[in-house]
Structure 1
Amino acid sequence: MQSATLSFANLHTHGELFANLLRARRETFILRNRWNLPEADGMEYDQYDTPQSRWIAAYDDLGRVRGGLRLTPTTARCGCYSYMIRDAQKGLLDSIPADLLDETAPVDEATWEVTRGFICEDVESAERLKVRMKLVVEMLRASRELGIGRMVALLPSNWTRWASRCRLDMSPAGRVMDMGGIDYQAVWIDVSTQLN
């Protein structure tokens, strides 16, 4: 199992990995979860997939994406959009409740957002923790490189079951809410103690 942090600056060094990540997102969010999201050429994308974001992919030795996530700075701007959680709170997104956070969404250079996290459906249950750990280790590596001290994430509400196994300092940032038949919750992730 391997992992990589992708950016527009390094996509050329990873071959088809970024396209495969967006294909795996389509399989997860559009085909499996039946969410109404933009897609083209078999890939899922949205307005937050800009050069400001980073994408983390866990993939096997054959190059098959096994899981992934997206990191976006809370200082991001693209037209009328900033980042998904803040835009939902501001009422710009119909698919996510505006009351998802217990406080005002941050705009801070050291705080980034984690969204579009997934593990592919065909990953065996015995391998799921391994994929999750690979994503977490790569996320922490990227945090050190990018100077991220805290993250706000939108995750399935079962995050409490695996957070301690992944050694992440996580706490609720909002209420549990049904999004397309799946319970999600905004969560704070403190990575400041793991930056060294």
Structure 2
Amino acid sequence: MQTTTLSFSNLHNHGELFANLFRARKQSFIVQKKWELPEAEDMEFDQYDTPQSRWIAIHDNGLVLAGIRLTPTTARCGVYSYMIRDAQRGILGGTIPQNLLDEDAPVDEQAWECSRVFVSHDIPQMYRRKVHFKMVEAMTSSSRELGASRLIALTGANWQRWYGRCGLEAQAIGPVMRIDDGDFQCVSIDLTAKMH
């Protein structure tokens, strides 16, 4: 199992991995979860997939097992910044409630957003924990290399059950909300303990 952090400047070095990551996202979010998201050429994408973001792929023999997108909270592209902030500002059309945070969404060079997190539904349960640990390890090291001291994420409301097991220190920064068929909550993940 390998981890690769992709950017627009290095994706040419990794063959089909970038496209395969977006294909795996389509499988996870559009096919499995039935979310209404943009797609083209069998790939899921949105307005935050810009050169400002980074994508972490957990993969094995060309098969994408899991993925994460990291976007700086200082990102700007037209009217968009990053998903959590744009939801709070009400420019996502209400798909995510505006009251998802207790305070204003940060715009800080040391804070990055973690989004589009998924694990392939094809992975047997007995391997999922190993994949989760690889995801946390890659997310933490990539974020630190990018200069982040914390991540913010909109995640499943059961995050407290498994974040600690994966070695993540986090705290809630918004209320539990019902979105589609699940309960979600915004969290802040502290990376300062991971600094070298």
TM-score by length of 2: 0.97
2:168 paired residue number: 168
1:195 aligns with: 195
Partner of 1:98: 98
Work out whether 1:89 is the aligned partner of 2:63.
no
- The answer (yes or no) to whether the contact 1:140–1:195 under 8 Å persists in 2 is no
Where does 1:18-97 land on structure 2 (aligned, <5 Å)?
A: 18-60=18-60, 62-93=61-92, 94-97=94-97
Query: By how many angstroms is 1:125 displaced?
Result: 1.1
Which piece of structure 1 moves more, 71-80 or 163-172?
163-172
- Residue type at the aligned position of 1:194: K
Query: Given residue 160 of structure 1, which amino acid in structure 2 is its aligned partner?
Result: Q
Where structure 1 has 5 or more consecutive residues not aligned to the other structure, the ranges are none
User: Over residues 85-130 of structure 1, what are the superposed CA-to-partner deviations in whole Å (9 max), with x where a residue is unaligned?
Assistant: 0000000112100000111100000000001101111111111111
Amino acid at match of 1:67: A
Distance 1:173 1:142 in 2: 23
List, as ranges, runs of 4+ consecutive aligned residues in structure 1 with deviation greater than 4 Å: none
1:121 corresponds to which residue?
121
- Identical-residue share of aligned pairs (%): 57
1:139 and 2:146 equivalent?
Answer: no
Instruction: Identify unmatched segments of 5+ residues in structure 2.
Output: none
Deviations 1:22-47 (A, max 9, x none): 11111111111111100001100000
State the aligned residue count.
195
Letter in structure 2 aligned against 1:78: C
Calculate the aligned-residue CA RMSD, in Å. Answer: 0.9
Partner secondary structure for residue 175 of structure 1: coil
Q: Which moved more, 1:113-122 or 1:153-162?
A: 153-162
Secondary structure of 1:174's match? coil
Do the aligned partners of 1:6 and 1:56 also contact (CA within 8 Å) in 2?
yes
Render the CA deviation track for 1:166-189: whole Å, top value 9, x for unaligned.
101011111121222122111100
TM-score with structure 1 setting the length: 0.97
CA distance in 2, matches of 1:119, 1:159: 15
